[in-house]
């Protein structure tokens, strides 16, 4: 019997980290994708794939979602934010225009926001990399808020696809 069970959450010192209580060698990719995409539904127009089987940076996560006919998730309301909060690492970006974040799935400006205090701050690292992507982060233990982060940072992610009604 294969053990491809669910997942639990561990909050690391800096970022949301998801841990999986399953034995990877017993789960093939098709099973994992099928289980994940059915696992969480918005109830309205979207289905979500929880990218919890490997970490990826913004570029790889985008490529993975598109390859499977999806996009990186975008959050457009407090209700959706609350629902996904317990599950996701999300990406938005200000690569096109510094300080103005857009959802990569639609190209639309972010109108609903849930930034941590002092964010986005576009911190510049010693190597010159700036924070042009967005993630959810439980910085103070009071719930998931948005944080800008380097696009090269690897973490878990969420893809979304519009439901056929």
Q: Tokens 């993975």 appear where?
A: 64
Answer yes or no: are the C-beta atoms of 18 and 156 closer than 8 Å: yes
- Does the domain made of 8-162 have the CATH classification 3.10.100.10? yes
Q: Tokens 């696809």 — which residue? A: 161
pTM of the model: 0.62
Ordered by start, the domain boundaries in the chain are 8-162
Q: Report residue 135 as tokens.
A: 């993630």
Distance CA 56, CA 142 (A): 26
DSSP helix/strand/coil, 65: helix
Enumerate helices (H) and strands (E) in the chain, giving the number of each: 3, 10
Dist. CA 72–CA 92, nearest whole Å: 8
pLDDT tens sequence for the chain (165 residues): 333 333 333 332 222 222 222 223 333 444 444 444 433 454 557 777 777 678 899 999 989 988 988 888 888 888 877 777 655 544 455 555 667 777 766 777 888 888 888 999 989 999 999 998 888 877 777 777 888 889 899 987 888 887 765
């Amino acid at each position: 019997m294969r053990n491809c069970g669910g997942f639990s959450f561990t909050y690391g010192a800096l970022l949301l980290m998801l841990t999986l209580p399953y034995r990877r060698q017993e789960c093939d990719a098709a099973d994992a994708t099928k289980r994940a995409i059915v696992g969480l539904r918005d109830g309205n127009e979207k289905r979500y794939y929880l990218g919890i089987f490997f970490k990826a940076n913004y570029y790889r996560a985008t490529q993975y979602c598109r390859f499977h006919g999806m996009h990186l998730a975008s959050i457009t309301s407090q209700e959706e934010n609350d629902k996904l909060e317990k599950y996701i690492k999300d990406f938005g970006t200000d690569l096109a225009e510094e300080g103005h974040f857009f959802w990569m799935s639609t190209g639309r400006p972010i109108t609903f926001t849930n930034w941590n205090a002092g964010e986005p701050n576009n911190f510049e690292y010693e190597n010159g990399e700036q924070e042009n992507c967005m993630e959810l982060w439980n910085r103070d233990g009071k719930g998931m808020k948005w944080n800008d982060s380097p696009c090269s940072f690897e973490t878990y992610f969420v893809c979304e696809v519009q439901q056929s009604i």
